[in-house]
Every structure is written in C-alpha cells, then in structure tokens.
Structure 1
C-alpha cells in the first residue's frame, strides 16, 4: 500500500525504489505514523488540523515541492478552512496574530534553520503559544521538511 512519501515521490508498486522501501517496513510505517501524529494528532493542543495542513502547504511551497503542494492543497481543501488559513497556506504575509508569528517562524526554520535561536521561541510565546503548542509546531515543521527531503531523494533514486 502506498504512503504519502510514495505519492510525493511518484513511486508505484512496480518501481524498484518502492520495493526497496518495503525492505524496511518499520521506516515506511514510522514515517506514515509520524505524518498522522503531526497533522491529525489525537490531542491538537489548540493547533487545529486546518492550521496544521495550511502550515504544511506553506512549507511545501517554500521548498518548491509541487507534489507536496498538491497533496497538502487537496487535504486542506477537504477541511474547508477559513480564508485566513488558505492565505497562510498560500504564503501570505501581513497575517493577524498569532498566525503572523507562526508564519514567520515556519518560514525562518524552513528556509534558514541555522538562524533559529531562543529569541524565536520567545516570539512564539509572546504571540500566545504555550510550550506544548511550540513543541507541536516544531514537530510539524521538522516532519514536513523531512518529508520534503526524503521525497526529493526518492525522486532522484527513481530517476
């Protein structure tokens, strides 16, 4: 059965890279469980699914990963988000708080992670995010950027 990474990389069951991934099923299953846990966790901590998907879409756009942009655009559309979340996902700036602070953080960690420092966590706290929300946001950022890089690597292997 194909997972989100297979779809992002364009892998089909007959592809050698698809079959090679299945040689380590714990990695395939682990990546899919991680994806589910950051996008649709049992306890959202006030970071709803539509916000999480909008942020994933934003990161897909920042990483210029058209396959992930398509996946996350479709998933977000199914959640019927409000216009501000659609704008957030599409890369808008000038957003209302706390979305503005979250967007700045997501953009910075996605594009220039080496610049991240304690002051950026303090900015999220000042925007009203709790420590558990900041951790959940960090997990989402880490996963989507991981997903982007793995999908790109799988595409290279496939080619």
Structure 2
C-alpha cells in the first residue's frame, strides 16, 4: 500500500527506501490513519474539509514543500472552495475572522513553534473557536508539519 508520504516522496514498491519504511508498518499505517483523521474526520468539529485542505496547502507552502503544496492544492481545487479559502491557502493574511486568527496561528506554529504561548490559544477562543475545534486545528497543524518533515527527510535519504 502506497500512503500519502510515499506519494509525496515519489517512492515506489521497487525501491529500497519503500521497503525500509515497511520495517515499521505501524508507522506507515499510523501516519496514513492520522492523515485521514485530520483531513477527513468522522466529526469535523465545525472545521470543514475545505478549510482543512486550505490550511494544509498553506502549511505545505510555508514549509517550502512544492510536492505537498501541489497535492493539497489539487485536492482543494477538486472540492471547489469559496474564494476566502483559496486566499487562505495562498498565504493571504487580510482575511475575515475567524480565518485571519486561524491563519496567524497556523503560520506561528508552522514557522516558529517555540514562540507559541498560551495566549495564542486565547486568541483562537476570542475568534470564536471552541475547545474541540482548537484541538482539531492543533492536530491538523501537527500532522501536516510532521508530514512535510518526514517527506523532506525521506527525499534526502533517497538522494544519497
């Protein structure tokens, strides 16, 4: 089974790195299950699939991962999102609330996670997000940033 990380790296079953990833099948399966749970959860918690894809595209772009950016951009285009979500995905910052606060938070945690503070969560609450939405957003941020770092690392290993 090829997962989204294999796809992002361009791995095929014939490659040694593909087989190496399968030494830890729970990692491969777990990463794919995590991807599905944050992008297509059974309960969206009020964070639509379109919003989640727009944020994933934004984070992939911030992480300078052209392959994942293109993949998330294509997924987003397929669901025909509203213009504000296209702007969010494209990195715009002049957005209506709560998107502006969500974008700032995503950018902060993606680019400078060590500077995030409890006050940043309060800003999400002030923008109208409830605790389950903040947790869901945090899970999405964690996964996409994890995914980009794993893909970058595997691409480096592949180039050796």
Q: TM-score range by the shorter chain?
A: over 0.9
State how far apart, in whole Å, the 1-side matches of 2:87 and 2:40 are: 20
Q: 1:12 Cα deviation (Å)? A: 1.2
**Which residue pairs with 1:15 in the alignment?**
15
**Which residue pairs with 2:36 in the alignment?**
36
Gaps of 5+ in 2: none
**Which residue pairs with 2:61 in the alignment?**
61
Q: Note the 1:111-122 alignment, pairs <5 A.
A: 111-122=111-122
State how far apart, in whole Å, the 2-side matches of 1:89 and 1:119 are: 24
Q: 1:158 Cα deviation (Å)? A: 0.7
Question: 2:45 aligned with 1:48, yes or no?
Answer: no
TM-score when normalising by structure 2:
0.98
Question: 2:135 aligned with 1:135, yes or no?
Answer: yes
Q: What is the RMSD computed on CA atoms of the aligned residues?
A: 0.6
State how far apart, in whole Å, the 2-side matches of 1:127 and 1:27 are: 35
Q: 1:22 Cα deviation (Å)? A: 1.3
TM-score when normalising by structure 1:
0.99
